[in-house]
Amino acid sequence: MYTLVIGTQNWSSWSLRPYVALRAAGVPFETVVIRLREKQHPTTRDQILPWSPAGKVPVLKIAEDGKTITVWDSLAICETIAERHPEAGLLPADTSARAIMRSYACEMHSGFPDVRDQLGMEFARKLPLPELRDDTRAQVARIITSWEEALATYGGDFLFGKLSVADCMYAPVVSRFVTYGVAVPPAVQGYMDRVMALASMQDWMHASREEITAGLGNYKD
C-alpha cells in the first residue's frame, strides 16, 4: 500500500516527479497534499515532519508485511518505484541506455538552478517569459539539446523510447517551458506535447486549476 505525500500541486515540482512515476507504474496509491507557501498555513514543515524527518515533500510511505518504509526525495522515490515495478519499464532494459538515462535524471536533480529560480513551476498558469539571465539561457539551451539528443538516439515517444525515470524527472521542466512559452524545436515540442498529454499530467493540471480556483495556489513569496 502506497501513500504519496505531496505539496501544493500548482507549485510542487519535486512532488510531480514521483506522481508521474507511480501513475506510469499503474499501481494504486493514496495522495496526501500539504499546502506550501500558504500565509494561512505557516506550519508547513510541522505538517511534513510526521511523514518524514527530512521535512520536505515528496515522501512515499510503503506499508507492507506489517512494516512501513519511508522513502524521501523525488529521485529516490522514482528509482524505488521503478525497481519495485520492473514491468512498467521505467528503467531502460539496455544497461548502457539505463546508465545514460540515470545521467539525465541526476543532471536534472542536481542542476539547472537558474531555470528553477527564474521559471518557477506554475503548472496551471500561462505567464510571460521573463528576461532570462545568461546562466538561465545557457541552462535552457542545455536542456533542449540534451532532449534532442535522446529523442534522436533512442526513438519512440519519450527520451529513452518508453516513459522512463528521466521523463518523470523532467516533467516539471516541460510544464515550466509550457507556462512561459519557451521556444523549442519541433521534435522537442512533440515530446513536450506527449508529456503534457499523459493522464497523470492532465490530472495534475485539473488539481492545480482547482487549487487556483480555491485561492490555494495564488500566494507568491
Residue with smaller CB distance to ligand GSH, 45 or 206: 45
Q: Which residues contact 50 (CB under 8 A, 6 or more apart)?
A: none
Beta-bridge partners for 59: 5, 72
Residue choice 35, 73, 158, 168 for contact with ligand GSH (CB under 6 A): 73
Q: Is 175 in the site for ligand GSH (CB under 6 A)?
A: no
d(CA 21, CA 195): 12
74 interacts with ligand GSH by CB under 6 A? yes
14 vs 123 by CB, closer to ligand GSH = 14
**Cβ 184 to ligand GSH shortest distance, Å:** 24
Q: Is 111 in the site for ligand GSH (CB under 6 A)?
A: no
**Long-range contact set of residues 138-142: C-beta below 8 Å, sequence gap at least 24:** 139/111, 139/112, 139/113, 139/114, 139/115, 140/115, 140/182, 142/112
Span near ligand GSH by CB under 6 A; candidates 53-61, 137-145, 150-158, 207-215 = 53-61
Q: How far apart are CA 201 and CA 9, in angstroms?
A: 11
Residue 52 engages ligand GSH in binding (rule: CB under 6 A): no
The number of residues that bind ligand GSH (CB under 6 A) is 13
Q: Which residues pair with 29 in a beta bridge?
A: 2
Cell of 12: 510542487
Q: Which of 1, 30, 45, 149 binds ligand GSH (CB under 6 A)?
A: 45
Residue (72 or 180) nearer to ligand GSH, CB: 72
Interface with ligand GSH by CB under 6 A: which range of 71-79, 88-96, 146-154, 168-176?
71-79
Q: Which of 9, 44, 200, 208 binds ligand GSH (CB under 6 A)?
A: 44
- If binding is defined by CB under 6 A, does position 217 make contact with ligand GSH? no
**What is d(CA 99, CA 91) in angstroms, rounded to the nearest whole number?**
9
- Show Cβ contacts of residue 94 under 8 Å, excluding neighbours closer than 6 positions: none
CA 74 remoteness from chain centre: 8
| Residue 101 · residue 91 · CB < 8 Å | yes
58 part of the interface to ligand GSH, by CB under 6 A: yes
Of 4, 5, 9, 12, the one binding ligand GSH by CB under 6 A: 12
Question: Which residues of the chain form contacts with ligand GSH (CB under 6 A)?
Answer: 7, 12-14, 36, 44-45, 56-58, 73-75
